[in-house]
Amino acid sequence: MSSGRRSRGRRALRLLSYAVLALVAVFVLAPFAFMISTSVKPADEIYAVPIRWIPARPTLANYRQAFAEIDILRGTWNTLLIAVPSTLGGLLTASFAGYAFAKLRFPGRDAIFAALLSTMMLPGVVTLIPQFVGFARIGWIDTYYPLIVPGATGSAVAIFLMRQYFASIPDELIEAATLDGANPFQTFTRVVFPLAGPAVATLAVLGLKAAWNDYFGPLVYITSPRKMNIQQMIAGTQNAYGGEPAVLMAGASLAMLPLVVLFLFAQRYFVEGLARTGLKR
């Protein structure tokens, strides 16, 4: 009798967990659903009360107007010029640093790692003015270098995630490579790094997402219209074209599409990487 009650209790707890997760999913997906819905609405349905989640007369005219009024191809290309080198550089830097903190022994390792983690508590706006002044003095304003170099040097979060992943790799693999005559660099490139696929995929998705959605950084450093990224070009329609909500939502939907495709392809590695980097020591 008691075992039956425990079984029913576990079943009820599982159902409650599913209900809570479903509710959270609804809150997370609602803004995206509203964006897609608004992007295919005619003008007279946008401000309808109550909100019409499914348009009565869906149209693709807003997407045609977005292509006509926003240079989406140039904005996408400019964003790729920023996001790809920034992400690749960040992956390389974070991988080397994470491996050093996880598997190498050197004086002050733990203290340096603790100091690195402490930088995560420093708001980005605190360093904005010193960075701007420094980049202005070396002539980097209105170039992509201020947007690429900081990301390519590796963030504390990326180094932490890679360190956590490398710490989960058995030391016996590294010892075996050392006995075979491999130096630390060869051990990293030939033994350890090939095993870090899930962690690399996780950081690649997170890095590309951050660079792709960055609006504040390009707003500060980029002044030439032809160098603006996709987020700046979409936001610029608020002034140039009266801020038509349907066109804005259509542009935002188009800008989000590459990230959705990337996540669908890397989903398995992304979830595995988050689990292993977050649950290990």
Provide the CATH number for the domain around residue 218: 1.10.3720.10
Give how many domains the chain has, as a whole number: 2
Percent of the chain with pLDDT over 70: 91
Q: At what angle do helices 2-39 and 245-279 cross, to 10 degrees?
A: 150
Section 207-236 average pLDDT: 88
In terms of Cα–Cα distance, which of 252, 208, 215, 230 is closest to 73?
230
Q: Which residue has the higher pLDDT, 48 or 165?
A: 165
Give the tokens for residue 25. 């999913």
- Residue 179 resides in a domain: yes
Section 244-267 average pLDDT: 83
Are 249 and 176 in a shared domain?
Answer: yes
Quick: pLDDT tens for 6-41: 777 788 888 888 999 999 989 988 888 888 988 888
Are 41 and 73 in a shared domain?
Answer: no
CB distance 231 to 81 below 8 Å = no
Q: For position 278, what pLDDT does the model report?
A: 47
- Residue 54 resides in a domain: no
Quick: pLDDT tens for 227-247: 999 888 888 776 555 567 888
Q: For position 22, what pLDDT does the model report?
A: 92
93 has pLDDT over 80 = yes
Are 86 and 218 in a shared domain?
Answer: yes
Are 42 and 76 in a shared domain?
Answer: no
- Residue 121 resides in a domain: yes
Are 88 and 206 in a shared domain?
Answer: yes
Are 9 and 119 in a shared domain?
Answer: no
* Mean of per-residue pLDDT scores for the chain: 84
Q: Which residue has the tokens 């609804």?
A: 26
Section 161-179 average pLDDT: 86
- Residue 55 resides in a domain: no
Distance separating alpha carbons of residues 201 and 151, to the nearest angstrom: 16
Are 38 and 73 in a shared domain?
Answer: no
Give the tokens for residue 240. 């140039």
**Signed CA dihedral, 41, 47, 51, 57: sign only:** negative
Distance separating alpha carbons of residues 248 and 62, to the nearest angstrom: 9
Are 75 and 196 in a shared domain?
Answer: yes
Q: For position 133, what pLDDT does the model report?
A: 92
Residue 264: give the domain boundaries: 68-279
Q: Which residue has the higher pLDDT, 277 or 166?
A: 166
CB distance 63 to 41 below 8 Å = no
For residue 128, give the H/E element and its range.
helix 124-137
Are 79 and 184 in a shared domain?
Answer: yes
Quick: pLDDT tens for 114-163: 998 888 888 878 888 899 999 999 999 999 999 999 888 888 888 988 89
